[in-house]
Chain A
């Protein structure tokens, strides 16, 4: 009965899971291709602060890696692995190597800076995909007849449900944490302007929009805007179960993340790309419709 429920609320085919694999791995592939690893390799290893499991590696390893040539080797390994996993070649192995390489790379970046959220959801998705039959369709492996196709539909549906639940949890728990840490003070009219202006003062953020300095002029209305965001985050789990609510909730997510870019110079491109797992790829394949809503 639980399996029937899961099969009903999320796409339940090898094709849908294969498309999701291509989206998640392809997102990291594009991200890595657009990144200058050799420039990263010029940063001094002496400012590195290995975090979590990264502490287990000796400094001699980082001395070798944190050079332009060391980082180009890492980039090459990541591009090859992500190309294979995106296209679905040797999927059982390539999804795992991509997970390990991306996890290590994200750990390295956070050892320089801080534990930001943007890519983390997609990293969890890599972990889910590495241990599910995501190469059974929409992969070069399946075209070569290298995969089995007699699995129950639930095997393809539950990973997608798990990924949707993970996204819902990130937003829902974010609202809970805000309320737990700041309580009702989070709705203070100075909350958003003070934070947004701080993130707009330096030139170390990725963008330098100055819209934050306009916020004090609309200060009385800001508690309503912040409250609306909190309600949206708390209601995000409904996007999994109610298709009609889904597009409103995801649409508001797009507006929210674009707003944080212009107001706070903080953007979540990887997280936004992961919204595509809510598309019913089975339905789109049946109808051949790309632009109409499911």
Chain B
């Protein structure tokens, strides 16, 4: 923020969505699920996509194990821990719904888009998606 905005620089961003049991796709606001993170959710998601928790000097034993399975950080797919994060958010969302509600989620996903910059248009070029069945 200190450097200000740069119109020429492209930027990626994410939208959290849920697929309900009734077949609807709805936007989900993470702040309503984990309000403690307040204003830090978007950087947590970016860091998770970038696998930053695997790049620490001392990494969590479960992450060490995952690295061993993949044969190193270079083989790790982007967002290796995103399914865990999506699972946690999906379960929190469903806990807020009555058991018979048609708004309960059967899956939750994170859609990534990119604004290439250079002008004030074309904000939503789709890049990729991470999906987790609940």
Contact = CB atoms under 8 A, between A and B. Distances in A.
Interface in A171-202: 174, 177-178, 181-182, 185-186, 188, 190-198, 201-202
B71 interface: no
A44 interface: yes
A109 interface: yes
Interface residue SS majority, chain A: helix
Contact of B35 (A34, A50, A62, A110): A34
22 contacts: A39-B34, A40-B37, A47-B84, A110-B40, A113-B43, A113-B44, A113-B47, A181-B3, A182-B2, A190-B6, A191-B4, A191-B6, A193-B7, A194-B9, A196-B5, A197-B123, A201-B13, A201-B113, A202-B15, A203-B30, A206-B38, A216-B120
B5 A195 contact: yes
A112 interface: yes
Given A112-B44, A198-B11, A204-B30, A48 B60 contact: yes
Contact of B34 (A36, A191, A201, A203): A36
A205 interface: yes
B69 interface: no
A206 B30 CA distance: 8
Interface string B96-117: 0000000000000000010101
B72 to A, nearest CB: 17
Given A206-B38, A208-B29, 17 more contacts: A35-B38, A39-B34, A40-B34, A46-B53, A46-B63, A49-B52, A110-B40, A113-B42, A182-B3, A190-B7, A192-B5, A194-B4, A194-B6, A194-B117, A201-B13, A203-B28, A216-B120
A71 B7 CA distance: 41
B41 A204 contact: yes
A294 interface: no
B29 A39 contact: no
Interface residues of A, number: 53
B36 A36 contact: yes
B4 A182 contact: yes
A63 to B, nearest CB: 8
